[in-house]
Structure 1
Amino acid sequence: MLLFVGLGNPGSKYENNRHNVGFMAVDEIVRRHNFLPEKKRWQALTHEGTIAGEKIIIIKPQTYMNESGRSVGEAMRFYKLAPKDVVVFYDELDLAFAKTKVKIGGGAAGHNGIRSITSHIGADFTRIRIGIGHPGDKARVHGHVLGDFAKAEQPTLDKLLDAIASECDQLAKGDNPRFMSEVARTMAPPRPSTGNKKPAEKTAEETTNKKPVARTISARPALKQNSSDGPMADALRALKSGDK
């Protein structure tokens, strides 16, 4: 069993904030994998489902970001899980928009939700860091994080959330590197071939720049007849013998 945790702030006021992209990610997983209807417990909204044969409990803490660890700790203790069984989806300011990285353990890097979870269960849980980009000015960080995604960003965001939901079976299998590489491949697919293939090596006939010459078959010359043979020769010999 695994606990998938999406981080965000409750209420319609924050629904489309960059800070709520963790909520958005787990909502798409619930939709894509047909999880059971929502329940309220452990100070969170929860769903149960199965991915790649693994039972998954999804929770969205409703305690506001700064106290996310309270509901995560309650759910973990209820199911007697360890930190290694917890996967947290959240926004990462220091990652470019729509980039996704996975790591286990580490510090909070200024993220209050991660700091709260660490204080309740320790640091050795899996983090799915979803890039929201940095505004470039420290004074603008608060407004950027608690601001909505721009309209121009929405198609890319939708594609990213779809990729996360599609590839989360790799997380259920414990293959974090595969999850990260598959999401990255979806977001930046290989460039299509331009069709400029390397030309095949020319044959010796083609390198002469001449058209191949068709072979002609000449008729065999007629065999030369010996003058001492044949009916005419016999007639001449008969005339000669009559003259004697």
Structure 2
Amino acid sequence: MFLIAGLGNIGEKYSLTRHNIGFMVVDEATRTLSQTSNINKSNFNADVIKSNETLYVKPTTYMNNSGIAIRAIKEYYKIENQNIIVIHDDLDLPFGAVKFKIGGGHGGHNGLRSTDAHIGNNYIRVRIGIGKPQAKSEVVNYVLNNFSKEELNQLEGIMSHTLKAIDAIMNGLSIDEVKSKFTLK
């Protein structure tokens, strides 16, 4: 079984923000699935859609506590970290870049910090570049602001590419092969 978690913040006001790219990818992944079921367990603190042997997860704990939801679902379904894929925004990558890795630091990303604290850091990370503001003091406003119209027009292709890479991982492609075939710079 795979757990695919998109990181983001709940609520309409955050739906198109840069920090919600993880939620957006999960929404895109589940939009066309034919056989799904919603899993409603209050202790999961997440919106969970199950399709075959895959759980698509959007934590409802807000970004800074994402790990609480991921750990609850991981423990309930007994999912190993190598089958956990976390999709998140990355300030250190230019807009549209997509990279993959296992482990590493959180780089100041509070959603990753929480996830690392609750399940360790040896899970698969899908890093989607959102670019960054010129001044470090602008980071919070930048990630919580909506994508521009131009960026929104490009997101469909970026999300489609990302989902192909995730499918490849779930079908047994190694992380090195995925990096080689699907990394976008």
Q: TM-score, normalised by structure 1?
A: 0.70
Deviates more, 1:16-25 or 1:160-169: 160-169
Change (3 A) 1:35 1:93: farther
Instruction: Report the counterpart of residue 49 of structure 2 in structure 1.
Output: 47
Contact 1:170/1:178 (8 A) holds in 2: no
Whether the 8 Å contact between 1:32 and 1:166 is mirrored in structure 2 is no
Letter of the 2:132 counterpart: H
Question: Which residue does the alignment assign to 2:90?
Answer: 92
Contact 1:102 1:180 in 2 (8 A): yes
Work out the CA distance in 2 between the residues paired with 1:147 and 1:35: 34
Q: Secondary structure at the match of 1:123?
A: coil
- Residues 32, 179 of structure 1: CA spacing in aligned structure 2 closer, same or farther, 3 A cutoff? farther
Partner of 2:14: 14
Partner Cα distance (2:147, 2:37) in 1? 27
Q: Where does residue 125 of structure 2 map in the other structure?
A: 127
Once residues 176 and 66 of structure 2 are traced to their aligned partners in structure 1, the CA distance between those partners, rounded to angstroms, is 26
5+ residue gaps in structure 2? none
**Aligned position for 1:102:** 100
Distance change in 2, residues 1:33/1:180 (3 Å) = farther
Aligned to 1:156: 154
Q: Which amino acid aligns with 1:49?
A: S
Is the contact made by 2:95 and 2:129 (CA closer than 8 Å) also made in structure 1? yes
Q: 1:4 deviation in Å?
A: 0.5
**Which residue does 1:146 correspond to in 2?**
144
Q: Kindly indicate whether the alpha-carbon contact (under 8 Å) linking 2:37 and 2:51 is maintained by their aligned counterparts in 1.
A: no
Q: What residue identity is the alignment partner of 1:124?
A: N
* Structure 2 counterpart of 1:71, one-letter code: A
Task: Tell me the alpha carbon deviations over residues 179-232 of structure 1, each in whole angstroms, 9 at most, x when there is no partner.
Answer: 444444xx78xxxxxxxxxxxxxxxxxxxxxxxxxxxxxxxxxxxxxxxxxxxx
Shift of 1:113: 0.5
- 1:116 deviation in Å? 0.4
Match of 1:24 in 2: 24
Distance 1:126 1:26, change over 3 A: same
- Match of residue 67 from structure 1: 65
- Structure 2 vs 1, CA of residues 119 and 35 (structure 1 numbering), >3 Å: closer, same or farther? farther
How many angstroms apart in 2 are the aligned matches of 1:137 and 1:37? Answer: 44
Aligned residues: 182
Unaligned runs of 5+ in 1: 189-244
1:46-67 deviation per Cα after TM superposition (whole angstroms, max 9, x unaligned): 11114xxxx2111110011111
Following superposition, the deviation at residue 96 of structure 1 comes to: 0.5
Which whole-Å CA distance do the structure 2 matches of 1:33 and 1:165 have between them? 13
Contact 1:96-1:133 within 8 A present in 2 as well: yes
Cα distance, 1:35 vs. partner? 5.0
What is the one-letter code of the residue matched to 2:109? H
Query: C-alpha distance in 2, partners of 1:21/1:106?
Result: 20
1:2 partnered with 2:2: yes
Asked if the contact 2:9/2:20 (under 8 Å) is kept, the reply is yes
RMSD of aligned C-alpha atoms? Answer: 1.7
- Which has the larger displacement, 38-47 or 57-66? 38-47
